[in-house]
Structure 1
């Protein structure tokens, strides 16, 4: 089967699939690790895969797409305007025409690829372009647009909601990554929907859990926003450091690097020396980092799934996260302590509990690894998706 995967992909995360590639390939796009895990597993199972993504490093005035391929894998990168509303390289902002340029280029790339079926991720420009291709399409819903707009009320998220509404109303086949998503977008579509969680790469499950010599509390946040609530997490970690000065606190993700938003917050609150700022990293760097954590603190107010949570579970890292934060309780299960992440005292108490209660800590380690292996392994997820592809193609 020739499967098309369309969604946000970082070139840095797939270099292992291209043993001899030019250093001049555009690499600005911040991608989603779950797509890499899915692509790897589909290739392992003998399928041909073409992936389609946008790339801000490509000039919108240039070719519709750039193709890089090796063996059974092909990557199509199309231009992405860097600005939502302001002009960029002679073109108006991408939200002003609802990503029309990007959708056109994606559609052109899809038509050139010869794929049998398309698997689109998120309900925005990627799914819209997939629908316009007139190929069999499965759309995986990774978020709840109304919830995001409520937590991040701005014109850009309003535009995203409009795009999602259009996509979902036309959708014929949908999957969702958690029961939370099913509940939140049920009113926005008429299609059948299956729950298939996000996949984890096999190498995470090979990690041997050993007692860590250094105590590291880590946060991996996708952006500095009210929704991700990173400032609350940093405030609590500052208090924890007063009680446990031997602890190290590591921050990863966009906005969490030196001179970025988290760094600026720490400077303003006179606690720069308490944190280590690693910022955005390739997926392999994140996987290597999370294995060293003693605890993952995830203060997000809302998650539709939360890949970082599942990754921590797979490598035996207990979690402190939100009991009211969307899909978080469903993903975490008994792999950590769930609290009100808007209450600093509750977060602090949960961290201290895991650090001081060895029995509780061990239970979270074992429960997390078991749940991750049983539910989130890439092999199990890919097999479920392949059945969906076959059904969609048969009904086209």
Structure 2
């Protein structure tokens, strides 16, 4: 009775309430199912996205990078197996190896890579705060399109109705930013150039954090960590103070204790912001998977409460953006074109380019390094 009394004041408003979402609430055979790939901006559909693929999950559990496996030397079992990265350098002509360039980089650059290198050069001319504001402006337009009812559709009726277009568009933008960061970094041939660009991207990530744009911050975090690993040559040339500040984002976005640090940050964000929808989408999916222990015809109160709390938290960010206008940044057309219209590499090409960066040279010859696959595994197992 005590809890039920909290709803008594709704009785006076009940006759005036009109359900404006009844069209989709009732499942119908004529209900169109949106094609998720209609908004998939640039992913290679032939790439192996299956959960069983041998790779490391990025921003989606069903999306994985297919790493190159070690290639054993079948002629001599006594010799240790060579990685594809080691084999590449040993097979190159010694006369063609120039200081600062891998042998593969000396063979020529495709038009797509040249275009990405041009994007990287232009991006360095923009101040990190300007880039962060433009990304936030573009993402805000997509974020405000999401209605509270869309989350109910996604978490409860997704199998029958498909994902709402607004959420699909938001996810596609997140994926694009991740691949955009990775593509422009791996397009460069020299470690010094990559380190300079990674430093700039880390500064952009810090600006995104100051704007409370947790969504794009996570996208940058995923992209940078996939192409610049602690201990490799690119990382060793990144400005130490910049990387130290960037590490705060890694601590914030860790999955430890069910994203505890991120949830605390969101709870204490009182101004405008864009939450990381990956975390909240996962929460809604788990809520939908909770077993129905309630009697027939009654509401599962725990599901209803958790669902409402999650949607209300997301909706509160949207309301603050509309009321405050702090995200009303001026458009930068040239920068928006770099982000949205640049042709990106597929994940297989990105992984291949990651192994072509020049090494910490000794006497003009690149020293082969172990692939980052094993070290990434160790890092994930430590967490």
The answer to whether the superposition gives a TM-score over 0.5 is: no
Richer in helix (by share): 2
Richer in strand (by share): 1
Structure 1 length normalisation: TM-score?
Answer: 0.24
Structure 2 length normalisation: TM-score?
Answer: 0.25
Structure number with bigger Rg? 2
